[in-house]
């Protein structure tokens, strides 16, 4: 039987005020649900007192060209709340993208709606990969644009006149705002709420999101996980991030360097300067650390572990494993089984 939670409801009716921040969100097919959730949840918590969810100080709509479910990249779908219409009803229109390799076509109606926003002077925000749509329309030429570090190469290859920025969660330039998505969507929402509703509203939302606790813990975990992620040079941080993404597949330092917008020679110089090790050696140690965990904590064969951690074969893994840990994977696994040695 459901408990009585009526005492948690608002004790008074909502004040009749015009919301100082009105936002329309226009997602593409296969949009990323996390970025949208982070962004809208911040608005929801800033829009009312406690957790009542009334759109008082902030208002938002999920926009589309048809009132049909829009499927996210994780498979969940969301229903639009309004159709594309007069963009001047909003202070901002957020174009929310998803994986660039998605095979779902972007509706022509979305492109036309963005053009109508620009023509009406309504600021447009590119969230996640929404900035790629803005670039396709020619709006970001010569402008700075926040891009996820893994997509710098895609931006530079397709739009060389756009200045890709990877070390800022929010970038505003020439009437356009861009955000790479993920947890940075909270930074975007905080920027807009603070600008239009004041710092008190932003602080309240952050507190309710428990970001004052969770973010600190995540930063600590990141620092403990890889020393390279604590480097003062953003290019090294981005390279280490890509290495972590690609621990399960073969790759080259040249490919990593190209993806983050530099050269293999320059990346090697940066790694030696900041981490006192060559990038290939750093990446191999990262793979070996992951392989060691699997040797101890899984029953996968050494051949399978080698394959999953990007080594050419089991002999290749065994060679470097012994050099790194002074023991073969087989012997370490046997010790673990016999004596519980970690």
More confident position, 137 or 309: 137
Mean pLDDT of the region 158-173: 93
* CB atoms closer than 10 angstroms to residue 324: 15
Distance CA 60, CA 21 (A): 8
**Tokens found for residue 205:** 């939302």
Mean pLDDT of the region 266-285: 93
Distance CA 221, CA 195 (A): 31
For the chain, the farthest-separated pair of C-alpha atoms sits apart, in whole angstroms, at: 72
Mean pLDDT of the region 303-330: 90
Say whether pLDDT at 150 is over 90. no
Distance CA 290, CA 212 (A): 30
| pLDDT score of 264 | 94
171-173 vs 176-179, strand pairing mode: antiparallel
| pLDDT score of 162 | 96
| pLDDT score of 247 | 76
| pLDDT score of 87 | 97
Say whether pLDDT at 221 is over 80. no
Taken in order 226, 230, 232, 237, is the CA torsion positive or negative? positive
Query: What does the H/E/C string look like for the chain?
Result: CCCCCHHHCCCCCCCCCCCCEEEEEEECCCECHHHHHHHHHHHHHHCCCCCCCCCCCEEEEEEECCCCCEEECCCCEECCCEECCCHHHCCEEEEECCCCCCCCCCCHHHHHHHHHHHHCCCCEEEECCHHHHHHHCCCCCCCEEECCHHHHHHHHHHCCCCEEECCCCCEEECCEEEECCCCHHHHHHHHHHHHHHCHHHHHHHHHHCCHHHHHHHHHHHHHHHCHHHHCCCHHHHHHHHHHHHCCCCCCCHHHHHHHCCCCHHHHHHHHHHHHCCCHHHHHHHHHHHHHHHHHHHCCCCHHHHHHHCCCCCHHHHHHHHHHHHCCCHHHHHHHHHHHCCC
Tell me the CATH number for domain 226-342.
1.10.10.60
Common-topology check for domains 14-212 and 226-342: no
| pLDDT score of 278 | 94
Write the CA distances from 143 to 134, 179, 194, 295, integer angstroms.
11, 14, 24, 48
Please identify, in words, the CATH class of the domain defined by 14-212: alpha beta
**Taking the domains of the chain in order of start, what are their residue ranges?**
14-212, 226-342
**Tokens found for residue 177:** 């705002």
Mean pLDDT of the region 58-86: 96
| pLDDT score of 310 | 84
Query: For residue range 91-145, what is the model confidence (pLDDT) as tens digits?
Result: 999 999 999 999 999 999 999 999 999 999 999 999 999 999 999 999 999 999 9
Structure confidence at residue 207 as a pLDDT band (50, 70, 90):
confident
Structure confidence at residue 299 as a pLDDT band (50, 70, 90):
confident
Mean pLDDT of the region 205-233: 65
Say whether pLDDT at 175 is over 70. yes
Please state which of the ranges 119-123, 162-166, 334-338 shows the lowest mean pLDDT. 334-338
Are 131 and 181 in contact, with CB atoms under 8 Å apart? no
82-83 vs 58-64, strand pairing mode: parallel
Helices 314-325 and 279-297: crossing angle, nearest 10°?
100
How many percent of the chain have pLDDT more than 70? 89
| pLDDT score of 220 | 52
Say whether pLDDT at 17 is over 70. no
């Amino acid at each position: 039987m459901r408990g009585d939670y009526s005492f948690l409801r608002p004790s008074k009716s909502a004040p009749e005020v015009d919301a100082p921040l009105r936002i329309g969100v226009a997602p593409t097919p296969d949009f990323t649900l996390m970025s949208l959730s982070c962004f809208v949840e911040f608005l929801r918590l800033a829009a009312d007192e406690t957790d009542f969810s009334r759109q008082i100080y902030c208002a938002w709509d999920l926009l589309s060209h048809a009132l049909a479910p829009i499927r996210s990249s994780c498979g969940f779908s969301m229903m639009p709340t309004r159709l594309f219409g007069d963009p001047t009803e909003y202070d901002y229109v957020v174009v929310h993208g998803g994986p660039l390799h998605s095979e779902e076509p972007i509706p022509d109606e979305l492109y036309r709606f963005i053009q109508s926003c620009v023509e009406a002077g309504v600021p447009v925000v590119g969230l996640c990969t929404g900035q790629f749509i803005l670039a396709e329309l020619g709006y970001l030429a010569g402008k700075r644009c926040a891009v996820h570090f893994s997509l710098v190469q895609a931006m530079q290859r397709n739009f060389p006149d756009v200045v890709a920025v990877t070390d800022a969660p929010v970038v505003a330039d020439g009437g356009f705002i861009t955000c790479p998505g993920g947890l940075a969507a909270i930074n975007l929402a905080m920027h807009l709420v603070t600008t239009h509703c004041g710092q008190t509203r932003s602080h309240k939302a952050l507190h309710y999101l428990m970001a004052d606790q969770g973010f600190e813990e995540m930063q600590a975990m990141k620092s403990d996980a890889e020393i390279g992620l604590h480097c003062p040079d953003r290019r090294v941080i981005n390279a280490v991030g890509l290495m972590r993404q690609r621990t399960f597949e073969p790759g080259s330092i040249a490919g990593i360097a190209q993806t983050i917008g530099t050269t293999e020679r320059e990346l090697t110089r940066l790694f030696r300067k900041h981490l006192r090790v060559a990038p290939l050696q750093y990446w191999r140690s990262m793979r070996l650390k992951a392989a060691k965990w699997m040797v101890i904590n899984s029953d996968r064969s050494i051949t399978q572990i080698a394959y999953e951690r990007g080594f050419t074969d089991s002999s290749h893994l065994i060679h470097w494993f012994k050099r790194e840990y002074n023991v073969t994977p087989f012997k370490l696994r046997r010790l673990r089984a016999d004596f519980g040695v970690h």
